[in-house]
Amino acid sequence: MRLRWARRAWLPALLLLLSATALAAAPEPRTLLQAEAVASDWQARQPPAHGWTPVALPDLWTTRWPGHDGVVWYRLRWQQHGDAPIGLLLDYVCLADAVYLNGSLIHRDPSLVEPLTRSWVRPQYMLLDRPLLHDGQNELLVRVSGLAAYQPGFGKVLVGAPEQVQARYRAAMLWRHDAQLFAVAVGLVLGALFGLFWLFRREQTVYGWYALSAWLFALYGCNYIVTRPWPFTRTDGWQAFVAALYLAAACSFALFLLRYCRLRRPWLERTLGVASLLAFAAALLWPQMAGPNRLPAVLLGGAVYYCGMVMFIVHAWRGQDSNARLLAACLLLPLLTSAHDFLVYFGVLPARAYLLALTSPLTMIGLGSVLAHRFAVAMRRIENFNEELRVEVDAATRLLGQTLQREHQLALTHTRASERLQLVRDLHDGFGGSLVSTLAALEQAPPTPESMRAVASLKELRDDLRLVIDTTAHEQDLDLPALLASLRHRWTQRFERAGVAMHWTLEGLAGLHLGPARSLDLLRFLQEALTNVLKHAAATRVQVRLQWDGRTLQVQVSDDGRGFDVASATAGAGLASLRARAHRLRAEFILQARQGQGTHLSLSLPQPALQTAPP
């Protein structure tokens, strides 16, 4: 299996080795740095016969013919031997050109007059072979059309093996064209993304300014990739518009940095906005003036761009925001590369490639990542706030529901209490008045056994009526000790008149409310128990104890009377009444009695049957 795999792999490996050897053996491409140049007019189809001047490539013809708008012819000669084809690379032509080899046209731009083709944005590669290529001396003639305001000239020329020259061409295309195209695409995508962020959250203007600056820089980057000045009819209009784009992009980027620092400078914002609008107005209304004189707009844009970045970097490193420091670190690279590009733009450096296009995608991705993280953090905060708000709303809704239910119950209770109170008033005014007047008439009449029994029955009715009135009319305002006060007073007087000592013990009852029904049942239970003691016990001492321990209400009534046999007394009406009231109270009732040793009653009310605060 291994031998079969080796047999299959040896041929590609051998071919690769032979190719690498051939490339290594091929001579390096020759760079033609010497040429002759002569100026001409726009309509010249042939170069002038006289006036040729030796020049060194790359050449900027405004150093020789200042202010010349038109055509310059460049002529190069070299010796070529052999029958193999060669590759030809024109590194730089500004703005448009036509190329002739040994008198034959091999390349021509679509427009050699205004609007000029913008051939400077990419190198030009051509494959030369016989019969155009001669064995011996060859002559290359290049007709360059340009404008003095836009750095017209001609760059280096490379001739050599097609593979090597084409590799140089691909590298130059990558640096000068493809990188710019990628930067434009990244700018448009990030601008659209953060533009959507801003549309969804208008108050976050930092995203809007970043999106605007990304779009403007992307449109400005089209200056390095488009080959026609469309929609303008002249190069002046396009160059003025590009300068206005650069100024507006720099201003919007500076405002983005200000917004990121949470700083507002209305006067500065208005000034930058007016300057950008004036630049666009000049480009649209006076292109022939604004194009050649675009330098002030470019310098102002560069000053705003650099000042904004330097200010932000200083502000970020003085602060404690890690995201701001990360953003400041992302700005260091474009700060350096843009300085290089400015030197290239003004001709200080001889390079033809602008480095900012290579680094701007990385910078924009870094800026986009920082802003995306900031947006994600803001959205996370909003989600947390919404969750907290939802919890609070749910809690408030539950509380509101409970409150409404409580108010409903209070309204029902109030209605019932009002009805009971009206009933009590009717009993007090009607039945109570008749009862009292009848009782007074019987007490004033001569006593007889029948009248005395009637008086005793009427007094019991009067006491029971008092219990009903007290528990119904005053339960909402009075706690249990206050409701017991009238009962204690009446029964203490009765037992004193009967010669029986009575002692009350109340513990922990302050603020305790049982409700009207339970309060009445408890008072009737005590009244029934005390009535039994007074009638049947023949006691000398009575002890009443009520105790609330927070969970259970204990009620105890004890006497030292004659007692009785519990088994034989279960059918009595008094005990049956006590058990019935204990059942209504949902309480535990215990009776302890022995003949000659007194009686002890115990009642235990559990917590669910109690209410510790008035409704």
pTM, two decimals, is 0.60
Q: Are 247 and 290 in contact (CB under 8 A)?
A: no
d(CA 21, CA 12): 14
pLDDT at 36 over 60: yes
β-sheet bridge partners, residue 606: 552
Q: Which tens digits make up the pLDDT trace of 331-380?
A: 777 777 777 776 776 666 665 556 665 666 666 666 666 666 666 776 67
Q: Which tens digits make up the pLDDT trace of 314-333?
A: 888 887 777 777 777 777 77
Say what the pLDDT of residue 7 is: 47
Domain ranges for the chain: 28-160, 175-385, 478-615
Say what the pLDDT of residue 460 is: 66
Q: Which two tokens stand for residue 95?
A: 């703005």
Strands 96-101 and 501-507: unpaired
pLDDT at 615 over 50: no
β-sheet bridge partners, residue 94: 153
d(CA 259, CA 254): 9
Q: 3-state class of 602 per DSSP? A: strand
pLDDT at 426 over 70: no
Angle (CA) 296-299-305 rounded to 5° is 140
d(CA 527, CA 519): 12
Say what the pLDDT of residue 234 is: 93
Say what the pLDDT of residue 23 is: 42
Q: Mean of the per-residue pLDDT values for the chain?
A: 82
In sequence order, what E strands does 514-571 have? Answer: 541-548, 552-559
Dihedral angle at the C-alpha atoms of 154, 159, 164, 168, nearest 10 degrees? Answer: 0
Q: Are 77 and 30 in contact (CB under 8 A)?
A: no
- Min mean pLDDT across 124-138, 173-187, 223-237 is at 173-187
Say what the pLDDT of residue 442 is: 65
Within 10 angstroms of residue 556's Cβ, the number of other Cβ atoms is: 17
Q: Are 282 and 289 in contact (CB under 8 A)?
A: yes
**CATH topology of 28-160 equal to that of 478-615?**
no
Say what the pLDDT of residue 57 is: 93
Q: Are 357 and 179 in contact (CB under 8 A)?
A: yes
**pLDDT-based confidence at 15, cuts 50/70/90?**
very low
Q: Which tens digits make up the pLDDT trace of 247-277?
A: 999 999 899 888 888 888 888 889 999 999 9
Q: Which tens digits make up the pLDDT trace of 376-425?
A: 776 677 778 888 888 888 888 888 888 888 888 888 767 766 766 666 66
| Mean pLDDT along residues 522-543 | 86
Strands 93-94 and 124-128: unpaired
DSSP assignment letter at 160: E
Looking at domain 478-615, its CATH architecture is 2-Layer Sandwich (3.30)
**pLDDT-based confidence at 71, cuts 50/70/90?**
very high
d(CA 502, CA 541): 6
pLDDT at 511 over 70: yes
Q: CATH homologous superfamily of domain 28-160?
A: Galactose-binding domain-like (2.60.120.260)
Cβ-Cβ contacts under 8 Å for 205 (sequence gap 6 or more): 198, 259
**How far is CA 601 from each of CA 88, 495, 568, rounded to the nearest angstrom?**
124, 18, 17
Dihedral angle at the C-alpha atoms of 170, 174, 177, 181, nearest 10 degrees? Answer: 130
Largest CA distance in the chain: 168
Q: Which tens digits make up the pLDDT trace of 119-146?
A: 999 999 999 998 899 989 999 999 999 9
- Min mean pLDDT across 106-110, 162-166, 570-574 is at 570-574
Residue identified by tokens 């209400």 is 553
**How far is CA 593 from each of CA 522, 567, 571, rounded to the nearest angstrom?**
21, 10, 15
